[in-house]
């Protein structure tokens, strides 16, 4: 008799060559895809592979993205990028996206993900892939080395926490606000090593890029994986990128499947959120932080600079100007996002308001390259994290908000509820 399974169990079971897996069971899974970037990838793996005398099990199942050190700002950065390019050449890895944007957005933009896949990524925000119905999680360099040599990885099958969002988001409220509210309610370790699955009418109504934000920031909850069951929205997004024959019906949780717990939320009650330093869990309505003066507003990162994020910011900024003595920096998540924003007038709206366009890449979000903060400076950012010293000097302070909220703060010169600026 077939036992009801969650989506998590179904994907893990397929990867393990099993009909069923139990929560807590340790299994060995076959890897469908391994993703790495220039910071934690080739420069870490190459010495290990050399010592082991090992090679990559299947270069066609490896994707490499240069996004942390791009463009090179010093000789060390240039050297890391050179090593990355040589690694890709020497190991005959064809799926290499060099200076095309941030890995978590580049991966789905290029059709590398599809429902039911079991994927490992060399970055903590790899759960982004769960927006497409993939079981995708982050690993360190040592574990990645084992993964790319053997094509396998062991896993203690996690349980699933179902977060059911009913209702509909109000004006100028986004997936980022949902996540900041979740960080407050569940805490930074509230889903430690488990799967967070998002469901409900509010989730069904979100476009793919917004779903990616939810799964990306599952990492802030301590989750191993963020997951959304695929649907027609998933199919449409992937079809536009050349991925067809998607079996969405197969990759759904069964009726009667057991979840660790189910939590209920009402999207219609949610106000724009802001997280105060130095944790995403320090969140609350943006109005509670009203009046905090800023030096910099930053729209960037895998969480906050996709094409829909840029359009959110532009909708606030049209016809307005960035406040005096405030820097508004915009680093689109990918080259494709930049091109789309240029084509539809989004970039023009940002530039006319006084935004400074930055290269695509991880950049100041992780304290790399241009846009880092000086001592005692205050920034509001659309990024996922605001830990002490992450974006520059240890005495700097970073607040987190949606692109709507960041753009509104840039105009007001201080943190405000974005609906104030739009009214």
The proportion of the chain whose per-residue pLDDT surpasses 90, expressed as a percent, equals: 96
Measuring CA to CA, which residue among 270, 201, 256, 267 is closest to residue 231?
A: 201
**Longest CA pairwise span in the chain (Å):** 68
Query: What is d(CA 134, CA 245) in angstroms, rounded to the nearest whole number?
Result: 16
Check whether 423 has a pLDDT greater than 80: no
Which pLDDT score, from 0 to 100, does residue 370 have? Answer: 86
pLDDT at 10 over 70: yes
Please state the rounded mean pLDDT for residues 17-29.
Answer: 97
Per-residue pLDDT for 116 more than 70?
yes
The pLDDT of residue 273 is: 98
pLDDT at 295 over 90: yes
pLDDT at residue 2 tops 80: no
pLDDT of residue 307: 98
Q: How confident is the model at residue 1 (pLDDT cuts 50, 70, 90)?
A: low
Q: Which among 312, 281, 276 is positioned nearest to 292, based on CA atoms?
A: 276
Instruction: Sort 119 into a burial class: Cβ within 10 Å, 0-12 / 13-18 / 19+.
Output: buried
| pLDDT of the residue at 302 | 94
Pull the structure tokens for residue 371.
């846009």
Q: Check for a shared fold between 7-266 and 273-422.
A: yes
Rounded to whole angstroms, the Cα distance separating 383 from 309 reads 11
Give the helix/strand (H/E) hosting 209: helix 208-216
* Fold observed for domain 273-422: Aconitase; domain 3 (3.30.499)
Quote the pLDDT of residue 381. 98
> For the chain, what are the domain ranges?
7-266, 273-422
Per-residue pLDDT for 290 more than 90? yes
pLDDT of residue 189: 87
Positive or negative, the Cα torsion across 230, 122, 300, 386? positive
The average pLDDT across 200-227 equals 97
Question: Quick check: pTM over 0.85?
Answer: yes
Mean pLDDT over residues 28-51, rounded? Answer: 97
50 torsion bin: left (phi>0), alpha (psi -120 to 50), beta (else): alpha
DSSP 258: -
pLDDT, tens digit, 9 for 90 and up, residues 56-94: 999 999 999 999 999 999 999 999 999 999 999 999 999
The DSSP symbol for 95 reads E
Q: Which candidate, 119, 49, 133, places its Cα nearest to that of 83?
A: 49
User: How open is the CA angle 292-404-315, to the nearest 5 degrees?
Assistant: 130
Give me the CATH topology for the region 7-266.
Aconitase; domain 3 (3.30.499)
Q: How confident is the model at residue 284, as a pLDDT?
A: 98
Average pLDDT, rounded, for the chain: 96
Q: Residue 285 — very low, low, confident or very high, per pLDDT cuts 50/70/90?
A: very high
pLDDT band per the 50, 70, 90 thresholds, residue 147: very high
Place of tokens 């079981």: 135
Per-residue model confidence (pLDDT) at position 278:
95
pLDDT level of residue 226 (50, 70, 90 thresholds): very high
The pLDDT score that the predictor gives to residue 32 is 98
Q: What are the pLDDT digits (tens) for 235-279?
A: 999 999 999 889 999 999 999 999 999 999 999 999 999 999 999
pLDDT in tens, 354-402: 999 999 999 888 888 889 999 999 999 999 999 999 999 999 999 999 9
């Amino acid at each position: 008799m077939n036992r009801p399974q969650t989506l998590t169990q179904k994907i893990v079971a397929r990867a393990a060559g099993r009909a069923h897996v139990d929560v807590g069971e340790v299994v060995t899974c076959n890897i469908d895809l391994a993703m790495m970037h220039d910071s934690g990838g080739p420069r870490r793996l190459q010495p290990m592979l050399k010592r082991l005398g090992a090679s990559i099990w299947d270069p066609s199942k490896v994707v490499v993205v240069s996004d942390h050190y791009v463009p090179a700002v010093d000789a060390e950065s240039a050297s890391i990028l050179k090593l990355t390019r040589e690694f890709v050449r020497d190991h005959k890895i064809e799926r290499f996206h060099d200076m095309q944007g941030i890995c978590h957005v580049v991966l789905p933009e290029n059709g590398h993900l599809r429902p039911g896949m079991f994927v490992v990524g060399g970055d903590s925000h790899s759960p982004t892939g769960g927006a497409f119905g993939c079981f995708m999680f982050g690993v360190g360099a040592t574990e990645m080395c084992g993964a790319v040599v053997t094509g396998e990885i062991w896993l203690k099958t996690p349980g699933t926490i179902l977060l059911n969002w009913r209702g509909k988001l109000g004006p100028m409220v986004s997936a980022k606000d949902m996540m900041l509210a979740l960080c407050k309610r569940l805490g930074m370790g509230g889903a430690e090593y488990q799967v967070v699955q998002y469901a409900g009418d509010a989730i069904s109504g979100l476009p793919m890029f917004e779903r990616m934000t939810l799964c990306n920031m599952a990492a802030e909850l301590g989750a191993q994986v963020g997951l959304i069951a695929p649907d027609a929205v998933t199919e449409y997004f992937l079809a536009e990128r050349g991925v067809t024959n998607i079996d969405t019906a197969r990759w759904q949780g069964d009726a009667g499947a057991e979840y660790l717990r189910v939590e209920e939320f009402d999207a219609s009650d949610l106000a724009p959120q802001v997280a105060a330093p130095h944790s995403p869990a320090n969140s609350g309505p943006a109005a509670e932080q009203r009046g905090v003066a800023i030096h910099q507003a930053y729209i960037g990162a895998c969480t906050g600079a996709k094409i829909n994020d840029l359009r959110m910011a532009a909708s606030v900024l049209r016809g307005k100007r960035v406040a005096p003595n405030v820097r508004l920096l915009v680093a689109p998540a990918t080259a494709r996002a930049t091109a789309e924003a240029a084509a539809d007038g989004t970039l023009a709206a940002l530039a006319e308001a006084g935004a400074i366009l930055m290269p695509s890449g991880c950049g100041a979000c992780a304290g790399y390259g241009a846009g880092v903060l000086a001592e005692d400076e205050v920034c509001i950012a659309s990024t996922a994290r605001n830990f002490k010293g992450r974006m520059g000097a240890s005495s700097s302070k970073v607040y987190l908000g949606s692109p709507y909220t960041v753009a509104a703060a840039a105009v007001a010169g201080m943190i405000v509820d974005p609906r104030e600026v739009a009214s």
